[in-house]
């Protein structure tokens, strides 16, 4: 017989860092989902593409139009009301919208000027976009975690997949694989991985003709660098530290390098025909969500749907 006992407080081992991060995320997810739904409800004017056509999903019944073939009549439905009805399916195209949400260590940063950490803002924006787009008739999935779905429970599906995904906490770049030709990508990241590496991933994902949108999440302190005097810089990704003399003297060089880094990403987006949107965490999440949703709606119109 297998015997077990409950460990006393002095015997309990601390959770491994990866497990602790997963538990912390699980505790925050209900609040983030509620916030995402509030943001999604505030986004107006994004119209979907639902219409009849070839597909497997039932859409609606409609009255038979004179001249239509009798084979299209749904006799069971028609018998209930004494009128002739046709069963229509919803049109489904061979494309989808693929999210990728950066959850690497640098995304956990939050300054006193921010409304939320970068990762929490990224999750809220991703969930809100997923719900908004599905309500508009799109199919949404997370790269490497879920298939593209048009489910009303898309937010819960994404949240559950992210919660149990341990590998995603170490990945600071999206998967290195082309997207389907008619797909769209939404990459939500702080963009602090090497700019050339991110640019190569963008080029690979867009190589089949897929469109994409980068939502770059930034903390206000990362934008302004309001430091002076003695300082110690800490790299959340590698755990490296650097002591600097006068942090204020670094400001000009910091801004120059940050702009050069961002310009490399912008150029990669321009070459791929993708868009780049900067969103600061001291601003409402709805601003970034509305911007990306509007860009996707505009691109859908450009494809002649």
Question: pLDDT value at position 173?
Answer: 95
Burial class (CB in 10 A: 0-12, 13-18, 19+), 111: middle
5 has pLDDT over 70: no
- 241 band by pLDDT with thresholds 50, 70 and 90: confident
Mean pLDDT of 42-66: 61
pLDDT digits over 182-197, tens only?
899 999 999 999 999 9
Percentage of the chain with pLDDT > 90? 51
Say if CB 136 and CB 46 are below 8 A apart.
yes
More confident of the two residues 111 and 20: 111
Domain ranges of the chain: 17-49+92-302, 58-89
> Tell me, which fold does domain 17-49+92-302 have in CATH?
Rossmann fold (3.40.50)
Mean pLDDT of 25-54: 75
Which residue shows structure tokens 């860009």? 295
Q: Rounded distance, CA 61 to CA 66, Å? A: 16
Q: Rounded distance, CA 14 to CA 102, Å? A: 26
- With b for 16 or more beta-carbon neighbours within 10 A and e for fewer, the 53-79 pattern comes to eeeeeeeeeeebeeeeeeeeeeeeebe
Mean pLDDT of 107-119: 94
pLDDT digits over 259-288, tens only?
999 999 999 999 999 999 999 999 999 999
Question: pLDDT value at position 19?
Answer: 53
Question: pLDDT value at position 210?
Answer: 92
Question: pLDDT value at position 9?
Answer: 44
Residues 6+ apart with CB under 8 A from 9: none
């Amino acid at each position: 017989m297998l015997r077990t006992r409950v460990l006393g407080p002095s015997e309990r081992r601390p959770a491994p860092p990866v497990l602790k991060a997963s538990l912390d995320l699980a505790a925050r997810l209900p609040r983030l989902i509620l916030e995402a739904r509030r943001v999604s409800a505030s986004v107006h004017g994004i119209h979907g593409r639902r219409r009849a056509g070839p597909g497997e999903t039932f859409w609606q019944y409609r009255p038979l139009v004179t001249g239509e073939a009798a084979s299209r009549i749904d006799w069971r439905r028609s018998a209930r009301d004494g009128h002739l009805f046709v069963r229509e399916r919803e049109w489904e195209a061979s494309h989808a919208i693929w999210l990728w949400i950066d959850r690497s260590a640098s995304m956990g940063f939050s300054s006193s000027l921010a409304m939320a950490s970068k990762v929490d803002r990224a999750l809220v924006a991703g969930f809100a976009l997923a719900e908004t787009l599905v309500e508009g008739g799109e199919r949404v999935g997370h790269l490497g975690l879920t298939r593209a779905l048009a489910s009303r429970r898309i937010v819960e599906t994404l949240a559950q997949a992210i919660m149990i995904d341990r590998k995603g906490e170490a990945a600071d770049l999206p998967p290195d694989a082309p997207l389907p030709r008619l797909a769209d990508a939404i990459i939500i990241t702080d963009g602090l991985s090497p700019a050339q590496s991110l640019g190569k991933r963008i080029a690979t994902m867009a190589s089949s003709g897929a469109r994409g949108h980068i939502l770059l999440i930034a903390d206000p302190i990362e934008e302004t660098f309001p430091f002076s005097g003695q300082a110690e810089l800490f790299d959340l990704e590698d755990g490296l530290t650097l002591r600097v003399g006068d942090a204020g003297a670094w400001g000009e060089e910091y801004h120059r390098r940050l702009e050069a880094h961002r310009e490399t990403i912008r150029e990669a987006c321009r070459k791929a025909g993708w868009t780049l949107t900067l969103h600061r965490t001291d601003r409402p999440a709805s601003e970034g969500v509305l911007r990306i949703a509007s860009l996707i709606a505009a691109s859908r119109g450009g494809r002649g749907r």
